[in-house]
């Protein structure tokens, strides 16, 4: 393997050897290491991974995501989660009560255009994604404001032990949920608070790679946030 950061695409063989350890964005087939992402090949010792370009969300089981209902069928809802594969919520994973599907129009629970916080319960071998709404904090979103960032920058927005997102929430007096797919839901008592929080999220998205980001966020949000950190 070369240490050079080459641009690779899904399905491309980027390494070979049983001694190579596949990291994120890489799968093994026999002795071959194959990229599952569009991004930069990265070699560190015996580990091989692909650093994804921004904007592509690769779903994983257990991810909490924010999605939009895009279709309603007889017994399930189809959800746009911003990824390359379709996602579905079945009635049993969405509603905690018995529903007679012969008599009930399930769109009364969720309709096209509704935004939801859900969790990825299962991903089949054919990449069909099953979501669940059964769990703490999983629900239909009412009011609020939704913005987005590159999915690869979600960890930076959350921060170590939740430090960055907590600072933004406290400084703007808002409730914020960050989906692993890069959608961010913000709700505040005042529209101005939501806008201020969205501006902070946008700064993280733009400047996540720069030094002093925390200080920039603190400065933008005002002295109140700096004092809390001190």
CATH of the domain at 202: 3.30.1370.10
Q: What is the CATH number of the domain that holds 124?
A: 2.40.50.140
Residue 107 lies in a domain: yes
pLDDT of residue 171: 93
Tens of pLDDT, residues 216-228:
888 888 844 433 4
Domain boundary residue, one of 140, 155, 175: 140
pLDDT of residue 85: 77
Q: Is the same domain home to 19 and 37?
A: yes
pLDDT tops 60 at residue 1: no
Tens of pLDDT, residues 152-207:
889 889 988 899 999 999 999 999 999 999 999 999 999 999 999 999 999 998 88
Q: What single string gives the DSSP state of each residue in 151-196?
A: GGGHHHHH-GGGHHHHHHHHHHTEEEEE-TTSEEEEEESSHHHHHH
For the chain, the domain total comes to: 3
pTM above the 0.85 mark? no
Q: Is the same domain home to 72 and 38?
A: no
Q: Is the same domain home to 117 and 153?
A: no
Q: Is the same domain home to 76 and 109?
A: yes
Q: Is the same domain home to 17 and 89?
A: no
Strand partners, 43: 48
Q: Is the same domain home to 103 and 131?
A: yes
pLDDT of residue 4: 46
What confidence category does residue 16 fall into, taking pLDDT thresholds of 50, 70 and 90? Answer: very high
Tens of pLDDT, residues 112-132:
999 999 999 999 988 899 999
pLDDT of residue 53: 65
H-helix or E-strand containing 97? none
Tens of pLDDT, residues 46-92:
888 887 666 678 899 999 999 999 989 989 999 999 877 779 999 99
Domain span holding position 125 = 64-140
């Amino acid at each position: 393997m070369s240490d050079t950061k080459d641009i690779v695409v899904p399905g491309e063989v980027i390494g070979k050897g049983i001694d190579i350890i596949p990291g994120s964005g890489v799968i093994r087939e026999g002795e071959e290491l194959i990229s599952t992402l569009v991004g930069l090949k990265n070699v560190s010792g015996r580990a091989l991974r692909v650093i994804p370009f921004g904007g592509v969300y690769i779903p994983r089981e257990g991810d909490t995501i924010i999605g939009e209902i895009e279709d309603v069928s007889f017994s399930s809802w189809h959800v746009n989660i911003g990824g390359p594969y379709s996602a579905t919520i079945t009635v049993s994973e969405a509603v905690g009560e018995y529903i007679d599907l012969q008599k009930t129009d399930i769109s009364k629970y969720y309709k096209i255009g509704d935004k939801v916080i859900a969790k990825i319960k299962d991903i089949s071998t054919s990449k069909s994604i099953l979501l669940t709404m059964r769990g703490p904090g999983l629900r239909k979103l009412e009011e609020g404001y939704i913005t987005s960032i590159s999915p690869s920058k979600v960890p930076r927005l959350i921060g170590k032990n939740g430090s960055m997102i907590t600072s933004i929430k406290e400084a703007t007096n808002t409730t914020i949920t960050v989906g692993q797919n890069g959608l961010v839901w913000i709700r505040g008592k005042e529209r101005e608070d939501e806008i201020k929080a969205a501006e902070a999220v946008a700064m993280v998205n733009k400047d996540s790679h720069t030094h002093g980001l925390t200080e920039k966020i603190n400065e933008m949000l005002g002295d109140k946030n700096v004092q809390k950190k001190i």
